[in-house]
A and B are shown apart, each in its own frame.
Chain A
Amino acid sequence: MLWRIIKRIIYAFFTIFLSASITFFLIYNIPGSVVDIIAAQLAEEMGVPFEEAKEIALTYYVGYDPNKPLLERYVEYILNLLTGNLGRSTIFRVPVTEVIVKALPWTLFVLSTALLTSFAIGVLLGLIIAWRRRTILGPIVTAYASFTDAMPDFVTAMILYIVLAVRLKLFPMKGAYSESLTPGLYPDFILSVLYHATLPILAYVVEHVGFWALLMKGSAASVLEEDFVKAAVARGLPERRILTAYVGRVAILPVAVMLAIQLGAMLGGSTIIETVFNYPGIGYFFAYATQNLDYGLMQGLFFVIIVGIVVANLVIDIIYPLIDPRVRREAGRL
């Protein structure tokens, strides 16, 4: 068991290394150049020719030498990662970790709340519609899921934004809290944070409930055919007990794996939802970094997402056999 865990950790490190390397090369092959963007800005601000502005940008602002061989920069990047240095943001001119520390709490708060809410509602709905196939609830949920699945995130977010924030003025249009308040743990501030987070959370929940419901329905439907469920029914056990202790407990396992992955990916924020609602989380900064070709920040954020997903997978790999005896047996044979 211990050796298995060690092996998994080694794989995880390897995956992180490989993914970080691939993203490094991909990012540096994005068309356009941050040097040109800064130089254009400097040329306008300083009234100097573009070539001169480019020299100044390279000397003082970019933080890397674009003429240095890519491989050399890559080695530098990996060595920095090993020392915990995620790099420097070209646009914000601060270490990437500073931006992440600032934005991550908002993303974690909004997305974890939204994810767990949509998961809880979706899983319960999925379980019910799998169990009671002949009720009207099944087609309703399926239609709803198909509709929200077909609808892009940003459309849902924009509709909610226009109707609830712009037209009805029920919710704020931007920010994580009222700017007139000083951040702190006191009721007014907490209420303001909840108020500002409502629309982003609602957008996420509306968009994802159907997904979880269908996923759970599929998983539960296959479990319902298992002999142990039939036996439980034959034994006359109460419906609720069969649903929760027998069907639900088994069917939720693959769905929980997906939840873990989603929780890991959550570190990357939801670029579209955070941008639409002007919510200053990781996704918001990700969009800003991409628009401005801030390679340093993009790399840092990608790295955080990679680590999040890999660690989530690792945790699932380790705890899955503990909660599912079938996998434990399989693992034991390996």
Chain B
Amino acid sequence: MTRTETILLACLIVLVIIFGGVYASLTSSINALSKSISELSSKVDELSGKVNTLTGEVRKLPEAIRGVVPPPTPPTPPTPPAPPAKLGEFHFACGWPKPPAYHGNPFGPGGVGGAYWFIYEPLAYYIPANMTFIKALAESWETKDTSLVVHLRKDAYWHDGKPVTSKDVKTTWALVGAVWARRTWQFIKSIETPDDYTVIFHLTIKPSPLLQVMLLTQPILAPDHIFGKFTDRALEVIELAKKVWALQAAGKEVPEDLMTEYKDKRTALTKDVREIKPGLPVGNGAFKVVKVTETEMLLEKFDKHYLANKIMFGKIRAYYWTANEVVWSYLMAGKIDCAHPATPPDVVKQILATEPRMHHILVTDLSQFAIAFNLRIKPFSDINFRKAIAYAVNRVKMREVGYFWALDTPYAHGVLPSMQSIWLPEDVLAKFTKYEYDPKKAEEILRAAGYKKGPDGYWRTPEGEVIELEVTCPAGYSDWVLALDELVRQLNEFGIKAEARPIPNPTFWPTAHSGKLGMHLNWFCGWAGTGDPYTGYYDLFFGDRSKDTGVGTGANGLGLVNKEFDTPWGKAIPAELMEQLLVETDPEKRKEIVWKLAYIVNENLWEIPWAEKRLQIFYLDGVRATGWPAPTDPVWTLYPGGAERLMYVLITHGVIKPVVTG
């Protein structure tokens, strides 16, 4: 061989070795994975056991904590040790508008991305699992008749050095009301700012605990010195919005000129607000954004923050959340400290095996998945048909196929299964119908209602028509698509001709809201934001779900929300119960209202839940950060609807600390 040949051969051998090594490594990984699959079920059982214990622990929380809305004074956070000389770095994953689109305006398209909870603080944080507040920009607050008076802390600053004042609170509320159409404004008459550090919310009703949660947990994100020029216009838009909402709620037609004026003014305002592009956001949180690229966002500690001396992390590094698969690789490599990608059991196993310091816990997402019906059309308008579906479909199987880590429920009452014991005692629950998988019972119900099974094995309506269903779901939700296939398979097995049709997300929701879908997979009674059943029932009776099913009022609604229903506790109208639930301050009385609502929802089966979504939270202990709270700690319920909110609270209160090296 010549020298050239030898060199070339050497190069080739190197390439083959690299490739071979890589291939061998992958093969060994696959083998290891295959071996571990057999261990998986035991691990999963173990995990389920732990989760059950967790649920049990939460349920055992003293009634005094769970049932009573706490006074405004929050628990004293643990005193952290003095910050080390060298501050730590915390990593997580999130999304943001990629540069050059990044603008730094929270009202702009895509907002400020995952930095949101690190850079904007609310007046207070609320922990749904134990119904307590953690104070943030508010130093204290009190209720006075139909007002909520909030006293701001005097040592909070915006990242450009200006103090946070009551005007900032007013401007924020004006803009979230006008630009984001925040419906909380239907209970706000006006916002008064008697001095720089006092805000008075004048309300249309008494400031119930639920309303306090709504008002106090809104992040203050619009500095008056930047957005203040829009406040008056925003308030004008809100007044128009209130008129529109009131007419819509009463099921009345909104005059065209009113609607046009509202839309035009709102659109023009939105456009002008979005024109503001500071580049990097001006926040008031303990961290400020200093750099944004396509793949990484860097935040640094804000030294003027009132908790600065307690914070032991100097930098927060965010990796771009391209896809769950990418986040899995970050977790395996120990690159991020906390994330919640939906992850199948085998991948969970692989992540935990690759990075032993990684932990995996399940926390309710405060949301539920359901089989929903368009009640305007046959056969879904028939309660017997809906009941038959509830018994004919094995929803546990759907959950196993679609979202393994979710929680099952044999009920359809709308209260989250994980919160069921708090709101619905056993004796109350005993009055509710349980819908467990029982195909024989489903057949009996259908036959009693006049449905017949033909010689071809398919069910026919009382009118003799073969039942043929097209069952839909958003195509972008891969877990729902899997569950949909399972649902359709089971329906066909039961004798109902069904076909699955996932619809692209942008088309699915508008089609659902316009009442054009039949049987479909949908959200059901989610409590995100407040951790309160009111939020879930609001969505079912007045929100998007009311449009999808037809439960609500309006031109396309059946008005079931205003219908009288029988309950074991007397007759009741959902709309009236909702009003009572909103204003009632006595926790026990609130529970009694929930019993009635839950009973109505359970017995009418407008939607049949097949899973309560639980977030799979991965956290890395001992690499960059340590001191994570126990999996049973109620603080984890800050995570749903704001993963970074929990990370922020833990970091700023010194709960998690940097790992000391060297």
Contact = CB atoms under 8 A, between A and B. Distances in A.
A14 to B, nearest CB: 34
Contacts of B510: 36, 40, 50-51
Contacts of A269: none
Interface stretch (B322-330, B399-407, B479-487, B647-655): B322-330
A23 interface: no
B354 A37 contact: no
A91 B18 contact: no
Contacts of A159: 22-23, 26
A123 B296 CA distance: 39
Interface string A9-52: 00000000000000000000000110011111111011111111
B478 interface: no
A174 B296 contact: yes
B19 A206 contact: yes
Contacts of A128: 4-5, 8
Contacts of B298: 179
A104 to B, nearest CB: 14
Contacts of B263: 52, 55
A61 B109 contact: yes
Contacts of A232: none
Interface string B1-12: 110110011011
Interface residues of B, number: 59
A47 B181 contact: yes
A125 B330 contact: no
Contacts of B291: 179
B248 to A, nearest CB: 10
A59 B15 CA distance: 55
B270 A46 contact: yes
B477 interface: no
Contacts of A55: 263, 267
Most interface-central of B18, B21, B182 (chain A CB within 10 A): B18
A52 B263 CA distance: 8
B482 to A, nearest CB: 21
Given A36-B506, A41-B109, A173-B335, A48 B181 contact: yes
Interface stretch (A161-169, A185-193, A319-327): A161-169
B25 A102 contact: no
Nearest to A46: B180
Nearest to B331: A166
Contacts of B354: 166-167
A162 B26 contact: yes
Contacts of A42: 109
A127 to B, nearest CB: 9
A42 B510 CA distance: 13
Contacts of B125: none
B110 interface: yes
A93 interface: yes
Interface string A123-139: 01100100010010100
B179 A46 contact: yes
A174 B320 contact: yes
Interface residues of A, number: 67
A326 to B, nearest CB: 27
B294 A284 contact: yes
B333 interface: yes
A124 B4 CA distance: 9
B12 A167 contact: no
A140 B22 contact: no
Most interface-central of A55, A92, A161 (chain B CB within 10 A): A92
B271 interface: yes
Nearest to B329: A166
Interface string B83-111: 00000000000000011110000000111
Given A36-B506, A128-B8, A167-B354, A56 B270 contact: yes
Contacts of A240: 2, 4
A300 interface: no
B34 interface: no
A160 B15 CA distance: 12
A195 interface: no
A278 B333 contact: no
Contacts of B306: none
B319 interface: yes
A135 B505 CA distance: 58
Contacts of B109: 38, 41-42, 45, 61, 93
B56 interface: no
A108 interface: no
A39 B267 CA distance: 13
A56 B271 CA distance: 9
A328 B631 CA distance: 78
B353 to A, nearest CB: 11
A137 B333 contact: no
Contacts of B25: 163, 167
Interface in B262-311: 263, 267, 270-271, 274, 291, 293-296, 298
Contacts of A93: 101, 109
A32 B475 CA distance: 12
B507 interface: yes
A175 B16 contact: no
A65 interface: no
A294 to B, nearest CB: 11
Interface in B144-203: 179-183
Contact of B504 (A32, A60, A98, A175): A32
A76 interface: no
Nearest to A175: B295
A124 B320 CA distance: 41
A134 to B, nearest CB: 12
Contacts of B628: none
B513 interface: yes
B509 interface: yes
Contacts of A102: 99-100
Interface string B60-93: 0000000000000000000000000000000000
Contact of A40 (B23, B110, B271, B505): B505
B2 A206 contact: no
B213 interface: no
B371 interface: no
21 contacts: A41-B109, A45-B111, A50-B510, A50-B513, A51-B510, A52-B263, A59-B267, A93-B101, A99-B100, A135-B5, A140-B16, A159-B23, A159-B26, A167-B332, A167-B333, A175-B294, A175-B296, A179-B296, A239-B2, A278-B322, A284-B294
Interface of A: 32-33, 36-43, 45-52, 55-56, 59-61, 91-94, 98-99, 102, 121, 124-125, 128, 132, 135, 137, 140-141, 144, 147-148, 159-167, 169, 173-175, 179, 202, 205-206, 209, 239-240, 275, 278, 280, 284, 288
Instruction: List 5 tightest A-B contacts by C-beta distance, closest first.
Output: A36-B506, A50-B510, A47-B181, A92-B101, A280-B294
